[in-house]
Homo-oligomer: A and B are copies of this chain.
């Protein structure tokens, strides 16, 4: 493999056996090298091939501007996440995570610690991703000796939620805003029924999953059809409390996000709320 571009002493661009552009990293790998020079395979710690065109250019930018150690830590964390989440992640994670981690480390060294107001909601809505965040914090501590707490784990978790969403839905609106809306909706549901939900139940998991896509629709202004007027009338009579709760949620998203819920949205949201609400109406 020959060097086609040098980014810094540790990072260079080359082509793999299939002629695809790859980024190679390793301590001193490109030190005193020129374009066209052979790369010493023993110095290569990591080779990246990115398939999303947008991600590639940004990745090169990040790779040349942050410490190699931060890149390699991020890569190790992403590898762990791919194994444990079992979900396809957007290549953008190779850009956003190193950038985020490097920024956090710099801030921490300067004594600036950001608290994460959505920490508890992230842990509740995305338990698997939160676990990856905790693992990430452990990896960082192991490799740098710098200790972060759960707030940082939650920030990292959101990067993974984002990388899943992009792949799943091409939605705009980041994971943070999605989590905010989910949190606001859950607060209304909780306030309406005055109970704690069984967060380990399948019904709750399905409710949360529905909410995630609902929040994405709210943010992107995507509307379901408006065909379920008649059915909604049925559900209104059958589950008055769940329906009233949906109406409150409708007012909130209308006021705060200028999103008008269609009868379809109301129907499906009411159905989910009815499934997790206390036994009386069922």
Contact = CB atoms under 8 A, between A and B. Distances in A.
Contacts of A202: 200, 202, 205
A134 interface: no
A83 B271 contact: yes
A192 B231 CA distance: 46
A82 interface: yes
A223 interface: no
Interface in A140-186: none
A79 interface: yes
A193 interface: no
Contact of A205 (B79, B84, B205, B235): B205
A206 B51 contact: no
Given A51-B225, A225-B51, A206 B86 contact: yes
Contacts of A86: 206, 210, 268, 271-272, 275
A47 B230 contact: yes
A47 B87 CA distance: 42
Contact of A231 (B82, B85, B224): B82
Nearest to A264: B88
Interface-central residue, A86, A225, A234, by most chain B CB under 10 Å? A86
Contact of A88 (B200, B230, B268): B268
Chain A contact residues (Cβ within 8 angstroms of B): what range? 20 to 34
A274 interface: yes
Contacts of A210: 86
Contact of A87 (B49, B51, B79, B268): B268
A238 interface: yes
Interface string A263-275: 0100110011011
A84 B85 CA distance: 29
A228 interface: yes
Contacts of A274: 83
A225 B53 CA distance: 14
Contacts of A275: 84, 86
7 contacts: A49-B227, A51-B227, A82-B271, A83-B267, A86-B210, A86-B268, A88-B224
Top 3 nearest A-B pairs (CB, nearest first) are A86-B271, A86-B272, A83-B271
Given A88-B224, A205-B205, 16 more contacts: A49-B227, A51-B225, A51-B227, A79-B231, A82-B228, A82-B267, A82-B268, A83-B238, A83-B239, A83-B274, A84-B275, A86-B206, A86-B272, A86-B275, A87-B268, A88-B268
